[in-house]
Copies of this chain bind each other. A is one copy, B any other.
Amino acid sequence: MGGKGAKKTGGSVKAPGGKKVAADKAQKPQNIQDLARIAGVSAATVSRALAGTGNISAATREKIRSLAREYDFRPSNTARNLRMGRTGTIGVIVPLGHEKTQHFSDPFFMRLLALIADRIAERGYDLLLSKVVPHDPEWLSRQVDSGRVDGMIIIGQSNQSDVINSVARYYDPLVVWGAALAEQIYCSVGSDNRLGGRMATEHLLSLGCRKLAFFGDPSVPEIEQRLEGFRDALRDKGKGAVGTNLPVHFVPEQALEDISGFLDMADKVDGIFATSDTIAMTALQALLDRRRAVPKDVKVIGFDDLEIARRTVPALSSIRQDLEAGADALVELLFRKIAGESVDSVMLKPQIVARGSTTCD
């Protein structure tokens, strides 16, 4: 291996006239060929060494790898993707059922998205982020058929479960954050919403609340499941307690109106289960406007347990979703699907976090 062994070319694969670089050391290798020349092997060997595929002697592999390290060389992703017939991109898509931008800037999405982004980047993939307002049933197939991604993560099925189902029938690499529905054929990751709903409700009941309100729009699947949990708890542990449901909008202004109107007539309410921390915040606001003390007169519990739950006055009790585990699962399952495996949906255990909005400390 010592003599360089230039056969025919006389060492002149490129720029023989010796311009460009005087010494044969050259600058940083720009591609796998350059590195091959430096190492005195062929491009194929470099490829195998770096990828760790095929049969290659440990000696050459390490030699090439250390050269790559020395020159801080990384093979082109684009070329690899072209050759391997993939795009190197994962689509992350947020369908906004009815509402517009507010929804997207909800801290909940940000947190989940940030976690997902990290996991995807760790695997060397890019992220194509899009939020779509599903005007027509084609919104998802358009994204899928664009051929710009190797797989898709959908954050929240909203009311689009049918559309997702119909695409999942022919497009496999697809995972969804959200509720696990009976009729779904796609793979989903989400909290056990029903259990979470039950936990929150039992918490309120155990603190003596007897007139409960559920704040949330059950036309969204996750929320419907939480409502079921709410009803379960009332039925099993309610003994005389009553509950009602107020379908609160996601848009904050609208939500405040909805809630204010409700509270003005429902002055006996002593426990509120809001299906998101942001709705719970709005409820706190409306209650304080009406001089109803929290938690003395009314106890409030939210859902998600985001940062903001710790910063309201009083601090908000909430049902915590394990978003880290959720992001892990979403990305892990998606890559398994891309690899052709078949995988099962994942359901995460929620956890209750009691703070000042339900317990006097």
Contact = CB atoms under 8 A, between A and B. Distances in A.
Interface of A: 72, 74, 76-79, 81-82, 87-89, 101-102, 104-107, 109-111, 113-114, 117-118, 121, 126-131, 145-148, 252-253, 256, 278, 281-282, 284-285, 288-289, 306-308, 310-313, 315
A127 B72 CA distance: 23
A282 B307 contact: no
Given A117-B129, A121-B128, A78 B81 contact: yes
Given A78-B82, A82-B79, A129 B131 contact: no
A151 to B, nearest CB: 14
17 contacts: A72-B145, A77-B148, A78-B87, A102-B307, A105-B107, A105-B111, A106-B110, A106-B307, A117-B130, A118-B131, A121-B128, A129-B129, A252-B311, A256-B311, A281-B312, A282-B311, A285-B315
A121 B110 contact: no
A285 B72 CA distance: 50
Contact of A252 (B284, B289, B307): B307
What's the number of copies of this chain in the assembled complex?
A: 2
Given A78-B81, A131-B114, A312-B285, A107 B107 contact: yes
A72 B141 CA distance: 12
Contacts of A306: 105
Contacts of A315: 285
A143 to B, nearest CB: 11
Contacts of A147: 74, 76
Given A101-B114, A102-B307, A114-B129, 17 more contacts: A76-B82, A78-B78, A79-B82, A82-B82, A89-B126, A104-B114, A105-B111, A105-B307, A110-B110, A121-B128, A126-B127, A126-B128, A252-B307, A281-B308, A284-B313, A285-B315, A289-B313
A307 B313 CA distance: 17
A118 B89 CA distance: 16
A320 to B, nearest CB: 14
